A and B are shown apart, each in its own frame.
Chain A
């Protein structure tokens, strides 16, 4: 460093966020006396245009070559101020921020002490600023393709948007068909469109799009790399059916020895399938799959005199020799759209879901009212004694939602409306049914929702305010123990059918995706977005985006909106074709590195590897940092025994004086 440091200090009021607790004037005066400080100012909003202009003008007029902004956390505005420096012709990395908001004014009440602390933070920032070096960030090429994990409505929509923008999409779906939960729904609130009618065309589009490569019955096995350059491995599970030959005629399924004996997941176990099956008639692809956990031939090596499906198949498509296949490819962005599971009502044993066949979940109700469902859309249930058409029907809202006793404090956002929808459908199919909905609040917040709720009530659905506590049996009726809280009357309501409006939960297999992509979870256990308001589709991992119910419960309109948002975000690196690599990453001093590899084992981002180099005629191993992977976290630096690896801008010689300034000694 040849040039003498000339530091400018800018103390922000942040409206009254800082100024109410910290005497900004005193801090400014104090800063003026610090070594190398040429000018110190304070201003209401440093991040505003006029605020930035102050800095830019001082750089030009006073010849500043270092800038300290004492304001908020660098998380939000470090890029803002770096840009200001750059625009004034200064290297953007000559900026240091002192966080006197989150780390000072917001957490203290004593004005005097807070002011003293703010001074110290500024002094520390100045000592470091003097020692900063110029850095340049680089750009690398981005792969012009994307991976979408999960092909529910979120994944399908995002894949279609990215593909329509002209980029290649690999769409990976775990189950044998695309469609997700929406495919299971009958009609959709609040407009009562038939779910299949609006979804099926999109499913087919996704399968046929020239830019989409669809992997069903497949799972992502491995992901490495970084934004713009992810390496992906996908496992295509063996279907034991050659999809290039299978015509979807279904001859096999009819003949299967287990036909009609295995609960069908798609019908929530209300319908039955065989070991070779198509999950539902509109499944995409319309190819059959053999369930390896059930198939007699696969589990016992023997199926009667020989597998009946093989005999039946006119296309010779069945292939018991088929094995899982691993496919690898590179993508520039990854979109997670893995959806949700519904709450398991056996966790609330007081509702007797495990005990009574006529206590069912909302998702089961969808299958029961669906014309393509196991009863052909007729609402018939078994009451423990006989099959009946229920006449007294109760819906219970908030099952597994807003309930600390099961660890789900959040509202699931769709069950109020799907209950209203189902109550309407039931009344439509059984006009003389007496339908009541037990609720604690009705949340009809979306477009057209309140209007729909009004309509349903006027159709004769009785809303009773009280959340039931228990269900038991009396004769062939179910008794709901509940209080009508509006009249303070404890009731024992006798009904034929209870529908539990089960809430939405993170998928029970979500852990695998979390580990694969290093995602975080919010307190509700759904995947965590980068910022709850301003970066709702991004994650903490650059290049990885979220869409749909994997991020939190939502209805179809919100899911589709978020999917389109995530697609747009994922398209940014693809369309630019380049991604910036941060300059503040770890750097190895190859001359002193002993190649012990300790840092390699420490790095949480697998960003370091050992390479062999020629050091004055000797071939030695040294650590090397993949700058695109490194997050500059500094773990390696803390671990290195010879101080040979240090993050730029956070070198010992830069941060030790800063720490000393805080402690008051050197």
Chain B
């Protein structure tokens, strides 16, 4: 969403380009459980007098920013951004939910939405001997961790296992350490435009300041945000699955030990639909001996959103209908999958909750690909103590 002074709401979101075809609402995953009809907002927001009222509609907070509406729109509109534009009207007037306000304030003060101190951002590295990037030292792969992976004990393992694996593969890399700060993905979707602008500026300066060949993001949210909303970032950005798939192809990475499991991969919206990375995570899973990879009927471009994005981590939905994550887990169960593999920290959290809610903990688990590959590394150490 470009910020241009003096643009009306209508101009900014190209509302006049809309032909009311309904593809946005047709594809919107949350319509099965909430009242959100994004097309109606695109239609109604044309009337500037209605904007304030529209911004008070509860359902604008049901959007998960999956971007399906934007990907499908035949006229190049980004309907979700209309919802975010309305959210920002509310944020501006200071009338947001306390949870949202706290998350945004935490990003502003501590560089993360989880209300954790900036100084503990690198705690996950303890005992790992992680190389920290220096502005005067060239580095091939500069990793960007993601606030959730850095602080949430459930998913820290993603970063930790990645470090262990990189060491073995002889890759030149470094992490940012305590200088790292939120990419702003969720700040953007929560509608705090001013803060997001500031974050983009700061991070662009920070990242351009290193002699890195490329930036490798651990979370699809950071990955896509860097790719699409950081116009001045000078380095190419990859998702870590792309890097690992590349190493695999170059023969620099091989997994020892096997895993005789039926795995279904869930395409995260930010990785798949929004960034077109579909094959790399699958290639990684297929490289593991014994893995039987099965597919959801709704996979790849048709993947069903888990409702983890769009600031939904801080906004409870009022709907009592089944969560999409639960629908997803039911589908996985019907496929007889032992493992639902994902490549996104948010998907881990939402899908794991769904497994618990449905009482399937015995039958299946949800893992991030890095978790799974990490387990193989451990196996390997056991069998070949160096």
Q: Which residues of A contact B (CB under 8 A)?
A: 349-350, 352, 355, 398, 402-405, 440-441, 465-473, 481-485, 488, 490, 492
8 contacts between A and B (CB under 8 A): A350-B301, A404-B74, A440-B19, A440-B20, A467-B21, A467-B26, A469-B24, A469-B72
Q: Which residues of B contact A (CB under 8 A)?
A: 19-28, 31-32, 37, 39-40, 68, 71-76, 297-298, 300-302
**Which residue of chain A has its CB nearest to the CB of B17?**
A404
Q: Are A404 and B75 in contact (CB under 8 A)?
A: yes
The complex places the Cα of A302 from the Cα of B19 at a distance, in Å, of 59
Q: Are A349 and B20 in contact (CB under 8 A)?
A: no
Q: Are A490 and B37 in contact (CB under 8 A)?
A: yes
> Which single member of A350, A404, A473, A482 contacts B22 (CB below 8 Å)?
A482
**Which residue of chain A has its CB nearest to the CB of B40?**
A488
CB-CB under 8 A for A481 and B72, given A466-B21, A467-B21, A472-B302:
no
> Which single member of B19, B26, B76, B298 contacts A482 (CB below 8 Å)?
B26
CB distance from A401 to the nearest CB of B (A): 9
CB distance from B157 to the nearest CB of A (A): 32
The complex places the Cα of A402 from the Cα of B23 at a distance, in Å, of 13
Residues of B within 8 A of A484 (CB): 22
CB distance from B321 to the nearest CB of A (A): 13
* Top-7 shortest CB links A-B: A469-B27, A469-B26, A483-B22, A490-B31, A466-B22, A403-B74, A485-B22
**Which residue of chain B has its CB nearest to the CB of A404?**
B76
CB-CB under 8 A for A467 and B31, given A350-B301, A472-B297, A488-B40:
no
Tell me which of A441, A468, A490 has the highest count of chain B C-beta atoms within 10 A of its own C-beta. Answer: A490
CB distance from A400 to the nearest CB of B (A): 10
CB distance from A470 to the nearest CB of B (A): 5
The complex places the Cα of A349 from the Cα of B300 at a distance, in Å, of 9
CB distance from B149 to the nearest CB of A (A): 30
Q: Are B73 and A405 in contact (CB under 8 A)?
A: yes
Tell me which of B26, B37, B71, B74 has the highest count of chain A C-beta atoms within 10 A of its own C-beta. Answer: B26
> Which single member of B26, B28, B76, B298 contacts A472 (CB below 8 Å)?
B298
> Which single member of B40, B68, B74 contacts A467 (CB below 8 Å)?
B74
Q: Are B27 and A481 in contact (CB under 8 A)?
A: yes
Q: Are A470 and B22 in contact (CB under 8 A)?
A: no
Q: Known A-B contacts: A465-B22, A490-B25. Give 18 more (CB < 8 A).
A: A349-B301, A350-B27, A350-B302, A355-B297, A403-B74, A404-B74, A404-B75, A404-B76, A405-B71, A405-B73, A441-B19, A470-B302, A473-B297, A483-B22, A483-B25, A483-B39, A485-B20, A488-B39
**Which residue of chain A has its CB nearest to the CB of B301?**
A349
The complex places the Cα of A637 from the Cα of B302 at a distance, in Å, of 58
The complex places the Cα of A98 from the Cα of B72 at a distance, in Å, of 49
CB distance from B267 to the nearest CB of A (A): 12
CB distance from B34 to the nearest CB of A (A): 10
The complex places the Cα of A154 from the Cα of B27 at a distance, in Å, of 40
The complex places the Cα of A492 from the Cα of B27 at a distance, in Å, of 10
The complex places the Cα of A490 from the Cα of B26 at a distance, in Å, of 6
Q: Are A402 and B74 in contact (CB under 8 A)?
A: yes
The complex places the Cα of A314 from the Cα of B306 at a distance, in Å, of 66
Tell me which of B23, B76, B297, B298 has the highest count of chain A C-beta atoms within 10 A of its own C-beta. Answer: B23
CB distance from A394 to the nearest CB of B (A): 13
The complex places the Cα of A471 from the Cα of B301 at a distance, in Å, of 11
The complex places the Cα of A9 from the Cα of B37 at a distance, in Å, of 65
Q: Are A490 and B28 in contact (CB under 8 A)?
A: yes
The complex places the Cα of A405 from the Cα of B23 at a distance, in Å, of 12
CB distance from B30 to the nearest CB of A (A): 10
Residues of A within 8 A of B39 (CB): 483, 485, 488
Residues of A within 8 A of B25 (CB): 469, 483, 485, 488, 490
The complex places the Cα of A440 from the Cα of B24 at a distance, in Å, of 13
Residues of A within 8 A of B298 (CB): 472
The complex places the Cα of A441 from the Cα of B21 at a distance, in Å, of 8
The complex places the Cα of A424 from the Cα of B198 at a distance, in Å, of 59
The complex places the Cα of A468 from the Cα of B25 at a distance, in Å, of 9
The complex places the Cα of A619 from the Cα of B66 at a distance, in Å, of 77
**Which residue of chain B has its CB nearest to the CB of A482?**
B26
CB-CB under 8 A for A350 and B32, given A440-B22, A485-B20:
no
The complex places the Cα of A481 from the Cα of B68 at a distance, in Å, of 12
Q: Are A483 and B37 in contact (CB under 8 A)?
A: yes
**Which residue of chain A has its CB nearest to the CB of B296?**
A472
The complex places the Cα of A352 from the Cα of B296 at a distance, in Å, of 13
Q: Are A481 and B37 in contact (CB under 8 A)?
A: no
CB distance from B169 to the nearest CB of A (A): 33
Q: Are A485 and B297 in contact (CB under 8 A)?
A: no
Residues of B within 8 A of A403 (CB): 74
CB distance from B209 to the nearest CB of A (A): 36
The complex places the Cα of A131 from the Cα of B19 at a distance, in Å, of 57
